[in-house]
Amino acid sequence: MDPIDLGAIKSEKVVDARGTSCPGPLLETKKAITGVSVGGILETLSSDEGTRQDIPAWARKMGHEFLGFIAEPGYDRLFVKRLK
């Protein structure tokens, strides 16, 4: 699979969970995914260190695709593609 250019992604929805600790960003992501169409991309903004592992684990379990993250100063942009 070709590496995805995360910077070029057009997110269908952005959920800003910055400033919240675990499990805030995960719960926000779970809630927000239903507002994205199948095949669409949800972007979560998180300043919680654990989210980089939590969202991929959640996506695996729920059958969505974690595309990766972009580290910005003080937070991450994490991308999930809704698959079902």
Partner 1 sequence: MTDRMALIVFSGTVDKLTAAATIASGGVAMGMDVELFFTYWGLNALRKDMMKTNTRFSKDFEEMGPMMAQVMKARKVPAWYELLAKAKEAGNLKIHACSQTYDLMGMKKEDLSEMVDDVLGVAMFIEAASEAKISLFI
Residue 6 binds to partner 1 (criterion: CB under 8 A): no
Q: How far is the CB of 84 from partner 1 (least distance, A)?
A: 12
Q: What is the 3-state secondary structure (H, E, C) of the chain?
A: CCCCCHHHCCCCEEEECCCCCCCHHHHHHHHHHCCCCCCCEEEEEECCCCHHHHHHHHHHHHCCEEEEEEEECCEEEEEEECCC
Determine the interface stretch with partner 1 among 1-9, 27-35, 36-44, 67-75 (rule: CB under 8 A).
27-35
**Chain residues in the site for partner 1 (CB under 8 A):** 19-24, 26-27, 30-31, 57-58, 61-62
Active site residues: 22
